[in-house]
Amino acid sequence: MPEQPIAGRYELLEGLGSGGMGEVWRGYDAVLDRPVAVKLISRQAMANAPQLAQEFTKRFHREARITARIQHPGVPQVYDAGLDDAYERLFLVMELVEGVPLSAYVRPDRPLPVSWAAAVAAQVATVLSHAHEVPVIHRDLKPGNILVARDGTVKVLDFGIAAILRTDVTKLTSTGSPMGTSQYMSPEQVRGGRITPQADLYALGCVLHELLSGRPLFSADNEYALMFQHVSAAPTPLRALRPDVPTALEELVLHLLLKAPEARPADVQEVYERLRPFLPPPGQKPAPGEAGPDGAPDPTGIFRNPYAPRARRQAGTGAQQPVQPDLNGVPAAPAPVPARLREEIKEAYAHSDALLEEERFAQAAEVLGEIIEPAARALGSENRQVLELRTQRAAIQLLGGDYRAALPEFDALADAYARTGGTTGEQARACRAQAARCRAELGQVTAALTALRGVLDVVRAVDGDVSEEAVELRRDIGMLLLAQGQAAEARLILEPLHEDLRVVFGPGDEMTQEIAEALALIRLGLDGPAT
């Protein structure tokens, strides 16, 4: 990992792989506080010869511009591109896609459901339709370059070796050698001939054949024998390998795999129309046997529920799972903290605090998340130090605006603190209040108000009406009512609060002034404009 961030802002955290253009890294954008993917052109490629380095540089900048022009959810967004501060490395910063490549789902012993494979192919076809309009040919379509994201969206990666279909650009990028992966390479690519969008259709046929049969289209001992088969060998019809494949789908795959480019379907739009009968209609639930691999995202979901809202987050679910309490619900017994773990926890806090100073909230929460799991394993999920780590992480998520991640964690923490310290304990009610604030930010106003009032009742009984905690809760309830247009109800809360604040903290206190301004606006709205 380099000592200095790329371009002063992109930190390289973990290598994700390498390809023809260089390396791909999991990175972090320190300016926008978000994870990114960073592609770096290899030093070797740039150092081989000045002319070659210049060509790579042109290709790299063109990759950024081309990929940025393909406006489709199935193509990772391009955020930035250029030279690093030392003028040594070209970089491309893109959306970091969390997903699983199709290659992980191809198994000879368990071919994928027809609707699952068709949904993947249909999504890839829509991506290619937008790319071919630019016009861009992918040239290296394969299962390893196709990811299924968590929401079932199919992402097509690595348009980096794509060429714009223009004479000047084609001449610039032609090297006389085939470009692509031999397992999915069209006959015209093998021959080194002119490449058209039909080359991507052939590769899509190879991918669809593999998804449905569980094995590659061709196999051979060496790359050249494999390439020869793409030029000369007839593909095995799908129904000979898997009889339950519909005849029309087998015919489409064979049409895609024809040797002559002009003999294949006219375009990806035609491919999509022929895939449509195998896609689930809106509202249809998966039938028995239609489920994909265990734990895999569902690419049919966007067809079953087009333009659907986000699925409701179930308790204890989400991208960042809260550490779950012991199954028997009994608080974990206090355990001594090993010296090594104690030091690691201390370092995690220090690192997280330093990141917070720079308002790098996502990364600060991630640093604590990395120590929570080993601490919970060593000490117990409801150990005091583990709960404190989880509470701090949730607070950072709340501060950074990641309310969806913070909400289930605060809910879980409130339950855990109730078991370990009682339902009216300070930590339990604080977490319930924070969960309510998350709900308010997510638009769950009624639930938020109910929870805040419940916590306030407890606080009043324990600490009175003008404790710091009670004052904040009263302020939150009143301001939330005001934001919802319930001015009369807000006034009933905020007027007595203002009087208490004047007495306890004085008229110059920041919160006193905030409530005074809110009441002034309420009075204007209730009493009408002054004459």
Q: Which residues are catalytic?
A: 140
B/e letters for 433-463, b = 16+ CB within 10 Å, e = fewer, are bbbbbbbbbeebbeebbebbeebbebbbeee
Tokens (6 digits) for 110: 């368990």
Which of 353, 421, 348 has its CA nearest to residue 383?
A: 421
Distance CA 198, CA 234 (A): 18
Give the DSSP letter of residue 435: H
Are 519 and 491 within 8 A, CB to CB?
Answer: yes
Distance CA 423, CA 455 (A): 10
Which of 208, 216, 218, 238 has its CA nearest to residue 299?
A: 208
User: Which residue matches tokens 């916590």?
Assistant: 455
Order of strands across the sheet that contains 34-41: 10-19, 22-29, 34-41, 90-94, 78-83
- Cα dihedral 106→140→183→127 (10° resolution): 40
Long-range contacts of 44-47 (CB under 8 A, 24+ apart): 45/21, 46/89, 46/90
From residue 139, give the alpha-carbon distance in Å to each of 75, 201, 283, 386, 405: 15, 10, 35, 50, 39
Are 486 and 478 within 8 A, CB to CB?
Answer: no
Distance CA 286, CA 278 (A): 13
SS3 136: strand
Are 190 and 231 within 8 A, CB to CB?
Answer: yes
Which of 316, 331, 332, 322 has its CA nearest to residue 378?
A: 332
SS3 53: helix
B/e letters for 285-301, b = 16+ CB within 10 Å, e = fewer, are ebeeeeebbeeebbbbb
Which of 186, 180, 194 has its CA nearest to residue 259?
A: 186
**Positive or negative: CA dihedral 375, 378, 384, 387:** positive
Burial class from Cβ neighbours inside 10 Å (0-12, 13-18, 19+) for residue 305 reads middle
Q: How remote is the C-alpha of 211 from its chain's centroid?
A: 24
